[in-house]
Amino acid sequence: MHHDQMQRLCLASGGVLRDLISLARNAGENAYLDDADSIEVSHVDRSIEQLGNSYLLGLGTRQKTVLKKMLDGEGFAPSDSESMELLITRRILEQSGSRYEVHPALTTVLPRASDDSE
């Protein structure tokens, strides 16, 4: 695997070790299924999309709206149970200084997500 692809996996994990392990394992499985000798860009792309889709599952319309607003630059305040759930389930990650961001893997699939699918 090229260094750039390792870095992409690290960034897509959002700093969550469990997600990094999952991303690396899935990239390896994707390469194996393609009968490839090494992990390529397409395998990493699919791995990130797979993790993003797993975080997308079960999100309601309101939660998707909160996440999309965050992607558009609006702030986030964990003030209700739905917002707290987004934090607890790692769909939103708390960074230093009470700064919040949408999980990087989820940002790859969220713009394509339909608001009416739950």
Classify 42 as helix, strand or coil: helix
Region 75-104: what's the mean pLDDT?
A: 89
In this structure, the dihedral spanned by the alpha carbons of residues 69, 74, 76 and 81, taken in order and rounded to 10 degrees, is -30
Residue environment code for 25-54, b if the CB has 16+ CB neighbours within 10 A, otherwise e: ebbbebbeeeeeeebbeebbbbbbbbbbee
Estimate the crossing angle of helix 61-71 against helix 81-88, to 10 degrees.
70
Burial class (CB in 10 A: 0-12, 13-18, 19+), 23: buried
> Which residue in this structure is represented by tokens 């992409």?
8
- pLDDT for residue 96: 80
Q: What is the pLDDT of the chain when averaged over all its residues?
A: 91
Q: pLDDT at residue 6 above 90?
A: yes
Region 12-37: what's the mean pLDDT?
A: 96
Tokens of 12: 């897509």
Q: pLDDT at residue 114 above 80?
A: no
Q: pLDDT at residue 9 above 60?
A: yes
Region 66-87: what's the mean pLDDT?
A: 88
State what percent of residues in the chain have pLDDT above 70.
96
